[in-house]
Amino acid sequence: MKFFPNLISFFYFCLSILGAILPTLANIEFVKENGPGFNIIKFIELANNNPAAQSLSFDLLILATAIFIWMFIESRRLSIKYFWLIALGTFTIAIAFSAPLFLFLRERRLYELNNN
């Protein structure tokens, strides 16, 4: 099977790379400003520092929860391999990384199922 079976899979893969790099760069900057380690309490405090930040935090939390549940169910339904990588990426990198990566793996699996 081709690594990128279609254009949308390539697009999802590119988004997953951006979803890993951009949040990681922001987290590195956070550690530089609030270090020496990753202070999760300070991170949550800043994420809820004002109504705009709080709105985005709640929005992301609810969206990430719904998407993660869907990804889990869909990976089981389609027998998508490497869901452990999706779960690990969600909680250690960002949902902005793991959701597009899941969509990439899903596209590859759908292509595989339709062409066998």
CA–CA distance, 96 with 34 (Å, rounded to integer) = 23
**Rounded to the nearest 5°, which phi and psi values hold at 108?**
-60, -40
Q: Amino acid letter at 62? A: I
Let me know: does 12 contact 100? Beta carbons within 8 Å.
Answer: yes
All structural domains of the chain with their residue ranges: 16-114
CA–CA distance, 60 with 66 (Å, rounded to integer) = 10
Instruction: Report the pLDDT value the prediction gives residue 69, as an integer from 0 to 100.
Output: 97
Instruction: Report the pLDDT value the prediction gives residue 16, as an integer from 0 to 100.
Output: 98
The length of the chain is: 116
pLDDT in tens, the chain (116 residues): 689 999 999 999 999 999 999 999 999 999 999 988 999 999 999 999 999 999 999 999 999 999 999 999 999 999 999 999 999 999 999 999 999 999 999 999 999 999 98
Instruction: Report the pLDDT value the prediction gives residue 67, as an integer from 0 to 100.
Output: 97
93 DSSP 8-state letter = T
Quote the mean pLDDT of the chain. Answer: 95
CA–CA distance, 107 with 88 (Å, rounded to integer) = 20
Q: Is the pTM of this model over 0.85?
A: yes
